[in-house]
């Protein structure tokens, strides 16, 4: 496939799919910046570094990524702290489990069978077992999403 045919495909995407593509792009960049900084034991990048890493993005996307990084850093710190103390986090509470809705929330799915409640931001990455971090997914979409940050379609707070 040459770049012209790729551009053609992108031009012909439905607005919903263009939006999904944008979300995936933001997720990839968020993960790259997070991995570069926090995972190697450093803090989040300062303003100059952040500006360089997000060069070319519009201001609302930059703000979104900044908020996500702060959210993720806080959750990771919490995770390390409770693990050090030997505290167990709760994966399921009855309130969380009962928050399952009537339709799968994955864009374009609309399945109403085999619905489960899912951690919007993965539990394994520090996501809370809290209604604000809950979403309804069908079994298929839940499996497809797995624990990948790449497939989060909406971050908590967005």
Q: Write the burial class of residue 106 (CB in 10 Å: 0-12 exposed, 13-18 middle, 19+ buried).
A: buried
CB of 138 to Zn ion, least distance (A): 3
Question: Is residue 135 within 8 Å of 96, Cβ to Cβ?
Answer: no
Characterise 154 by phi-psi region: left (phi > 0), alpha (psi -120 to 50), beta (else). beta
Interface with Zn ion by CB under 5 A: which residues? Answer: 104, 106, 109, 111, 138, 141
- The distance of closest approach from Cβ of residue 109 to Zn ion in the complex, given in angstroms and rounded to an integer, is 3
- The residue (of 61 and 116) whose beta carbon lies closer to Zn ion is 116
Of 93 and 146, the one with the shorter C-beta distance to Zn ion is: 146
Residues 6 or more apart whose CB falls under 8 angstroms from that of 57 comprise: 29, 65
Based on CB atoms, which residue is closest to Zn ion, 37 or 136? 136
Helix H or strand E segment including 117: strand 115-119
Q: How far is the CB of 100 from Zn ion (least distance, A)?
A: 12
Give me the least distance between CB of 106 and Zn ion, in Å please. 4
61/107 with CB nearer Zn ion: 107
Supply the minimum distance, in Å, between the C-beta of residue 12 and Zn ion.
24
Burial of 100 (0-12, 13-18, 19+ CB in 10 A): middle
| Alpha carbon distances (Å) from 144 to 86, 140, 149 | 31, 6, 12
- Of 68 and 119, CB closest to Zn ion: 119
């Amino acid at each position: 496939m040459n770049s012209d045919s790729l551009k053609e495909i992108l031009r012909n995407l439905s607005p919903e799919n263009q939006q999904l593509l944008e979300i995936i792009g933001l997720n990839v960049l968020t993960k790259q910046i997070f991995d570069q900084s926090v995972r190697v034991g450093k803090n989040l990048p300062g303003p100059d570094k952040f500006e360089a890493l997000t060069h070319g993005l519009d201001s609302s996307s930059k703000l979104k990524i900044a908020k996500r990084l702060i959210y993720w850093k806080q959750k990771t710190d919490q995770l390390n702290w409770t693990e050090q103390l030997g505290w167990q986090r709760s994966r399921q509470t009855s309130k969380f489990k009962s928050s399952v809705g009537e339709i799968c929330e994955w864009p374009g799915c609309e399945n109403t069978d085999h619905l489960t409640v899912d951690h919007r931001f993965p539990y394994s990455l520090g996501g809370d077992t809290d209604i604000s971090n809950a979403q309804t997914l069908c079994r298929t979409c839940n499996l497809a999403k797995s624990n990948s940050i790449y497939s989060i379609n909406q971050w908590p707070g967005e």
